[in-house]
A and B are shown apart, each in its own frame.
Chain A
Amino acid sequence: MYVELKNINKAFGDVHASRNVGFGIARGVLAALLGPSGSGKTTILRMIAGLERPDSGDIFIDGARVNDVAPGRRGIGFVFQNYALFRYMTVFDNIAFGLTVQKEPAAAVRRKVLELLSLVGMEGMEKRYPAQLSGGQKQRVAFARALAPNPKLLLLDEPFAAIDAKVRKELRAWLRDMIHRLGVTGIFVTHDQDDAVETADEIIVTNNGRIEQKGSPQMLYKAPATPFVTSFIGSSAPLENYRRLKGFENGSGAATGAVRPEFIKIYKEVDGITYENSVEEAVVEDTAFRGTYWEVSLKIKNMTLPARYSLEKAPIAAGDKVKALVYRLYAFDGDNVTLLENRNLDTHNGANRYSI
């Protein structure tokens, strides 16, 4: 593991920002710290950078314990949420700052700065001041400035928060590509699951000062470890008692869970239904156009469940009676989550025809 945190605790007065936080990130990986605001993700980032001190626990970078190493000596590049560009310096001087502090010769500084400017696609902008740049350009300069002293670890605090939606998508791909091309390890903080899912190799979900789960975006989506992750990643609706649904009647004890819209299939016509003994009678409560599909709100046995409906099929409207097949859901047991397949479908050759 290139970066490793062990049993980190940190409190600000009565607020426990970190409770027994521990995780590791391998070299060359771009990881996201994802969680709602106040979940402690920025504190973790700032502790790795050395801008905050943990109350207890150890932080390792490249095998060395860095708790007592000054921020400037940890070999870290840091991109601040509002970029924190030096307002009174040109783009050139901003990027050159870390190199001049290390007393690099002027010619080498100049070569490196121009190289970084072309890397981030900002050639010819070196004489501008931060106030003359757009949000996306500022981010690129902040990125170049953080990379100038050749850090092995790049930390980014909400790198996309101040960017408008259109440029954001572009920057996500750009950041991911850049980190992998340079071979550095990267950790960024975000509260936006799309940022994390589209950009990161690995996601660490934080909640209430704790790490809920760490894994690839696909893994978090398919196998959430806790009810919190289930609701935070992807979209889902809570179920108070899933045993009332056909195919999930077995078992005892609490029957709370959650279901994703992708786990429910809607049939308008009766024919073409393979598993008639499992389909539920449903009433369409509401539909909303989402560009590439319909978002549908279904009433099944007094429960309101979300579903999606293809634009290619015969249209449905509020009040329509339809058939719905719930073929998968998440069952909660305390803090644990299990994926339940519809029992009536399992028997069919043992194969699951409804993969996500």
Chain B
Amino acid sequence: MRKEVWIPRLLIAVSVLFIGVMLVLPLVVVLAEAFSSGLDAFLRAVTDPYTLKALRLTLTATVAAVLINTLFGLTAAWAVTRFSFRGKGILSTLIDIPFAVSPVIAGLVFILIFGRISPLHPFLDAHDIKVVFAEPGIILATVFVTFPFVARELIPTLEARGTDEEQAAALMGAGFVTIFRRVTFPHIRWALLYSVILCAARAMGEFGAVSVVSGHLRGKTNTLSLHVEILYSEYQFTAAFAVSAILAAGAVLMLTARNIVEYLAHKEDDFNVR
């Protein structure tokens, strides 16, 4: 057989094998282990009060991270693409810090800023404000780690669209809110939704930074991923995998949503960019 026929087949086989072993197999194992002691054991682990508390905290942190990062991601993307100012290049680079820095370091930084050794600590203590080893710390860590998603997705989109339409609207007397709502937002809505989904997926599964600021107080500062670790280290394998299954299901849901958004955005682009 000719060589040209083998190359695509080989590449496809390698890809399928690799993805199967490295990505799909673990997912299957998680589900298999979760149900290995029967449905009852699975339900018991999933409806355990500590699990539910962890789920609630994970959802709180995720929603907070999505809201905060959407707002500030939009602001940063707008500032970088629509205005010219000193230090713009640096700001644009700084946005990527969370991708470059290990999440553990991010967690440590928050401990330094808000923990016992911080000069802020007496003030926080006097006003009974708890940041680290409490929910605000978890939210802060999640926000930090997921910040780049929205801004990074929106900057190229805003750049590609240019400012002409916004200038045209401004020349007709439209104010900032009208311009954003009627002219800019329709351009970026799919990119925004897409980045929100990625941001949420990442926020749900965040472990490193959250682990440092959490303090692992069961039922208080445990997120789902931290809860999995605790269960696992206590040899409660079925429960650990059952809780993991919740996270895995969340991830699959996010991936599906992402694909639907991608499909819809492409369909609209095909129409509008002709």
Contacts and interface: CB of A to CB of B under 8 A. Distances in A.
Given A86-B183, A101-B178, A49 B171 contact: yes
Query: Which of A78, A84, A148 has the most C-beta atoms of chain B within 10 angstroms of its own C-beta?
Result: A84
A145 B165 CA distance: 12
B24 interface: no
Given A73-B173, A97-B174, A80 B272 contact: no
Contacts of B171: 49-51, 71-72, 76-78
B166 to A, nearest CB: 9
Contact of B174 (A80, A88, A101): A101
Main secondary structure of the interface of B (DSSP, over half): helix
Contacts of A71: 167, 170-171
B165 A87 contact: yes
Contacts of A73: 173
A49 B172 CA distance: 11
B168 interface: yes
A50 to B, nearest CB: 8
Nearest to B166: A84
Contact of B168 (A78, A88, A102): A78
B271 interface: yes
B272 A129 contact: yes
Contact of B173 (A86, A87, A149): A149
Interface residues of A, number: 26
A131 interface: yes
Nearest to B167: A51
Nearest to B270: A131
A91 B116 CA distance: 62
Contacts of A131: 271-274
A82 interface: yes
B172 A101 contact: yes
Query: Which of B167, B171, B173, B178 has the most C-beta atoms of chain A within 10 angstroms of its own C-beta?
Result: B171
A98 interface: yes
Contacts of B89: none
Interface string A86-105: 11110000000110011000
Given A97-B174, A101-B172, A101-B178, A86 B271 contact: no
A80 B164 contact: yes
Interface in B240-274: 271-274
B186 interface: yes
Given A87-B272, A88-B187, A88-B272, A80 B170 contact: no
B169 interface: yes
Contact of A98 (B164, B172, B187, B272): B172
Given A87-B272, A88-B272, A129-B271, A72 B173 contact: yes
Contacts of A129: 271-272
Contact of B167 (A77, A84, A87): A84
Nearest to A142: B168
Interface string B132-159: 0000000000000000000000000000
B82 to A, nearest CB: 13
Interface string B179-214: 000110011000000000000000000000000000
A88 B174 CA distance: 17
B272 A82 contact: no
Contacts of B186: 87-88
B187 to A, nearest CB: 7
A87 B187 CA distance: 8
Contacts of B187: 87-88
B189 to A, nearest CB: 9
Contact of B164 (A76, A82, A89, A102): A82
A102 B167 CA distance: 16
A35 B173 CA distance: 30
Contact of A84 (B165, B173, B174, B178): B165
A113 to B, nearest CB: 14
Interface string A29-73: 000000000000000000001110000000000000000000111
A258 B188 CA distance: 55
Interface in B57-83: none
Query: Which of A50, A76, A89, A101 has the most C-beta atoms of chain B within 10 angstroms of its own C-beta?
Result: A101
A129 B273 CA distance: 11
B179 to A, nearest CB: 9
A98 B187 CA distance: 19
Contacts of B178: 101
A97 B272 contact: no
A73 B172 CA distance: 8
Contacts of B164: 80, 82, 84
Nearest to A89: B182
A77 B187 CA distance: 24
Given A78-B167, A98-B172, A101-B178, 15 more contacts: A51-B167, A76-B171, A80-B168, A84-B165, A86-B169, A86-B182, A87-B186, A87-B272, A88-B187, A88-B272, A98-B173, A101-B172, A131-B271, A131-B274, A148-B172
20 contacts: A49-B171, A51-B171, A71-B170, A72-B170, A72-B174, A76-B171, A78-B168, A80-B164, A80-B167, A82-B164, A86-B168, A86-B169, A86-B183, A87-B165, A97-B172, A97-B174, A101-B174, A101-B178, A131-B271, A149-B172
